[in-house]
Amino acid sequence: MRALYSLILATCAVASAQSPRAILGWGLETSSADGPSRAMGEAGAALRTDRSWDPRLEARSAFATLTAFEVQVAPGLVTIDDDKTQNTVSTAVLPRVSLSIPMGRFGHVGLGYWQRYQRAMDWMSSDSMVSLSGEGGSFQGDLGYAYAIPWARGLSLGATYHRVLGTDRILRMETFQASDEASSLKLRDTVRHKFWGDYWTASAYFTRSNLDVGVWMDFAGDVEVTSSRGATNHEFPAPTTTSVTPAQSIGTALGWRFHGRHALVGSYQTTSWEGIESGASRQHQGGIGWQREGSADRYDDYWRRLSFRAGAMGGFGGPGEVVTIAGTTGMGMPLGNSGTLDLSLQVGQNDVDNGGPALKETFVRLYVSVTGASSWGKSFRTRR
């Protein structure tokens, strides 16, 4: 656990600056994919597993048998290109922390933290006099419950409650130095958003033989967004609160296992952005992936116990009409008796395609996911 803390702190210690695209909508969105899925084109939501929990597809976890705790961190590099200037900045994201608790015949409970949106960004005018930066973001506290339907073999249903909260801030700062003054002047201009609300996701999952299929759907929720402004030497009216429906997604995922340890996965999700970003079209995201799962026999050679994954993902629409295309690859490494370290490398590109000024991001992101799993909380009889 000490190593885990060190890893989180080390990740946070590097830069979290992201693209200016973070100014759109509620910020840059990070999906809820679990660690292994990150390397499979973020398409592995339906692949049956004991070690992962996905807040969108809670129903999958009804068949989980191990209590699992997962932490993800994702350092990376983003090259931002606007056809005139190119800059590379390092980034850091802590997208998820989750705990999955199977309760046998009483179903499954999952809970987690999901840093869904991030404002983290950094921009400076070419004369270095005006800077724009973003901080914070809206995140979610998720609580899910899943239940395997007794009379329908392989079918489960789930529901997840998402508590939306968090704050973000966009700060513009100008530094001015008069030639005949001793001190420089710093003028600040900020917009702060505070988020508070909730929404629900319902999910269904079917697993039989080599096939896993899941579907999920977000219900219309209600999030209060309180906006306040501030600026040096300026006075603004009291903060205003508006009530909006958060982005609603409908998605499906499937997994097909073959040749024992191999699996192919795919997913598709469409998200409505009405009410979030004016003029943004519906967003479509999809991915495909492959996995060769390592041996579960702890006495096997270590290399045979490694899992290997690859995939591709893409999307278009949403805030900024961003077109995304990325390739993914990664591996899962056993840690001790029941832990797993999943490394997922994503290389891709986001291209703002709304007809306005060009903004292209080329990113290299390494998701580091540490999962600890055990049969904690289950009686010996149940374990058998």
Partner 1 sequence: MLAGCGFSDSSNYAGGAFLDAQGETVSARSNATLAASTRSVEALSPEGYPSLPGMGILVAGTVGSDSIRTVLGFDLRTPSAWGGPDGLRTNPLKSLDFTVSDATWAPRLRLRMVLAKGAGASLPAVFMGVEPSGLPGLRVVLDTVVNPTSDADGMHSIPLPASVSDSILATSASDRGWLAVILDPQVVSAAQPSLVRFLQQPSIRIDSLPSLTVGTWLNQTATRSVQMRASGASSDVIGWWAGSGRRVRLELDGDAIRSSLHRQVPSDVSTPELDHSYHVLQARASLGFDKLVSNPTSARMQVVARVVEREDSSSLTLEHTLGMPSSVLTESEAGSSVGVRCTTLVADILADCSVLTGSEPQKNGVHLAYVNNKFGDYLQTHFWLRLDQPDHAEFPVLNNLRVAIRSEGSGHGGAKLRVKWTRLYATYNPDSQSDSLGWRSGATLGAGSNRVELEIRSALSQVIQQKARKVVLDIVPVGGNVYGLDLWTAHSSSPSQWIDSIRVLVRPRDGGNI
Q: Which two tokens stand for residue 14?
A: 């590097």
Closer residue to partner 1 in complex, CB, 118/249:
118
What DSSP string describes 154-184? TEEEEEEEEEEEEEEEEEEEEEE--TT-SS-
Restricting to residues 217-236, which ones interact with partner 1 according to CB under 8 A?
231-236
Q: Which two tokens stand for residue 281?
A: 């079209």
Closer residue to partner 1 in complex, CB, 176/200:
176
Q: Is 29 an interacting residue with respect to partner 1 (CB under 8 A)?
A: no
Restricting to residues 333-372, which ones interact with partner 1 according to CB under 8 A?
352, 356-359
Closer residue to partner 1 in complex, CB, 57/92:
92
Shortest distance in whole angstroms from residue 316 CB to partner 1: 18
CA 55 to chain centre: 10
Cα radius of gyration (the chain): 22
DSSP count for the chain of H helices, then E strands = 3, 19
| Per-residue mark of binding to partner 1, 148-167 (x: CB under 8 A) | ------------------x-
**Binding residue (CB under 8 A) for partner 1 from 26, 63, 69, 139:** 139
**Binding residue (CB under 8 A) for partner 1 from 6, 104, 185, 219:** 185
Interface region with partner 1, contact rule CB under 8 A, candidates 14-22, 47-55, 262-270, 338-346: 14-22
Q: Is 90 an interacting residue with respect to partner 1 (CB under 8 A)?
A: yes
Closer residue to partner 1 in complex, CB, 94/247:
94
**Binding residue (CB under 8 A) for partner 1 from 150, 237, 279, 336:** 237
Closer residue to partner 1 in complex, CB, 20/327:
20
Q: Is 198 an interacting residue with respect to partner 1 (CB under 8 A)?
A: no
Q: 110 exposed, middle or buried (CB, 10 Å; 0-12, 13-18, 19+)?
A: buried
- Amino acid letter, 360: K
Rounded Cα–Cα distance for residues 225 and 165 (Å): 9
Please tell me the number of Cα atoms within 13 Å of 56 on its side-chain side. 26
Closer residue to partner 1 in complex, CB, 23/202:
23
Q: Which two tokens stand for residue 100?
A: 């999955």
Contact 156, 185 (CB under 8 A): no
